[in-house]
Structure 1
Amino acid sequence: MTDTMQRIVLASRPDGAPTLDNFRLEDTKVPTPGDGDVLVRVHYMSIDPYMRGRMDDAKSYAAPIPVDGLMEGGSVGEVTTSNDPKFKPGDFVMGPFGWATHGVAPAAQVMKIDPNVAPIQTALGVLGMPGFTGWLGLTKYGRPVEGETLVVAAATGPVGSMVGQIAKAKGLRVVGIAGGPEKCALAVDKFGFDACLDHRAHKTASELRAALKDACPNGIDVYFENVGGKVLEAVTPLMNLHGRIPICGMIAWYNEGGLGETASDAGLTGPKLWRTILVKSLSVNGFIISNHWSELPKFLGEVAPKVVGGTLAYEEDITEGLENAPQAFIDLLTGGNTGKALVKIG
Structure 2
Amino acid sequence: GAVGGGQAPGGAAGGRGGGMTQYDLSADKPEELPWLIKIDEYVEGRAYQGEREISLRPGSNAQVPLNEALALSLIDGTGEPAERYGFTELKVNNRPAAVRLMVENPDTEYAEAVGGESVVYKARAGGTFDYQGGDPSKYETSFRQLNKVGSQDLEPVMKLTEWVEKSSDEEFAADLGTYVDVDSFAHYVATQNLLMNFDDMAGPGKNYLLGYDLNSKRFSVLGWDYNLTFSGDATAGPNEQMGMGGGMGGRPGGTGGEDGGTGGGTPEGLPEGMPELPEGAEMPDFGDMPGAPGGGAGKGGGMRSGHALKERFLELDAFDAVYRKAYQDLYEKFYASGKAVKSLDDLAEQATRAGVPAKDVETAAGALRTTVTQRTAALAKNKEVTG
Q: TM-score, normalised by structure 1?
A: 0.29
Q: TM-score, normalised by structure 2?
A: 0.27
Q: Report which of the two has the higher share of strand.
A: 1
Q: Comparing both chains, which one has the higher relative contact order based on Cα–Cα distances under 8 Å and sequence gaps of 6 or more? A: 2
